[in-house]
Amino acid sequence: MLIVTDGAVDLPATLMSSEALRIVPGKVWGGDAGFVGGIAEFWSMLRRGYYPSTTPPTVQELAAAYQHSGLVMAMHVSGRLSATLAHGKQAAELSESEVVLVDTGSLSVGAGLAVDAIHAEMLAQSPRQVLIERALRLPESLHTFALVQEVENLRRSKHAGLLPSHHLARNHPLLLAIRGRVVPLGQARSRKAAIDQLLTHVGHVSRGHLEGWAIGHGDASDIDAAVENISDALELAPRFCTFLDPTVGVHLGPESLVVGVLSGASSL
């Protein structure tokens, strides 16, 4: 059995080298050339005000990744936020493998939690049908929040049309929920107040059974404090903390935070 995912799904470092996982990255473009620098260079570039464009994995790239002798669990970023899932459907039709497509309804570390959970069950040799049913149900228990420090970063994005831009204050941090689509939760006057709002929402969805949480960030200067505050609120350390992949980071911008929670709680 094999899990295939995409670059907009942020994963723990321990998972990146797994033989049971294939990652098909999207592309970050600087003009006509692909960006080839490291993560530090990427965030430095954004802080200087240069924002490259992105494209999702192609049908051909996904079809090649889906080639496998056993079952392929294709777990991708929300189909309402990226063309990756649509490309995956076309790729599955081209592939000779048995492919189960899973729309995580999320992105970044939110979707990464789902991939991590299925990978762990795969290693535990859970029955095939149990794995399939679990993967298809996971999005119902997945809650992802994004804190965008500068609204202008999101306005540049092709996803800005999903937001009520005429109601957004330019200099106030914006809190979003990602549940298949982007849902604005409000703007605070300061980063501290925005993080307090984030903690409130994270605490709400984690009531009851909390399976785990993770955090990704856009080179955030206060990432250590954010991890500590959320860990204290949930009484649980994160499964992982990582930089946002450039294909996500270019839309959310520097100092952004993405928190994923895998819980049995209901929606907002």
| Same domain, residue pair 100 and 30 | yes
DSSP designation for 21 = E
Q: Which of 116, 139, 162 corresponds to the end of one domain?
A: 139
| Same domain, residue pair 184 and 244 | yes
Q: Which of 120, 139, 158 corresponds to the end of one domain?
A: 139
Outline where DSSP puts E strands in 78-209: 99-103, 142-148, 174-179, 181-187
Nearest-10 Cα torsion for 70, 13, 137, 66: -30
| Same domain, residue pair 124 and 169 | no
Q: Which of 139, 169, 185 corresponds to the end of one domain?
A: 139
Neighbours of 118 (CB within 10 A): 24
| Same domain, residue pair 126 and 159 | no
Condensed to tens digits (0 to 9), the pLDDT of residues 48-89 reads 988 888 899 999 999 999 999 999 999 999 999 999 999 999
| Same domain, residue pair 229 and 165 | yes
Non-local (6+) Cβ contacts of 47 within 8 A are: 219, 254
* HSE-CB of 45 using CA atoms within 13 angstroms: 18
Condensed to tens digits (0 to 9), the pLDDT of residues 99-154 reads 999 999 999 999 999 999 999 999 999 999 999 999 999 999 999 999 999 887 77
Domain boundaries, position 124: 2-139
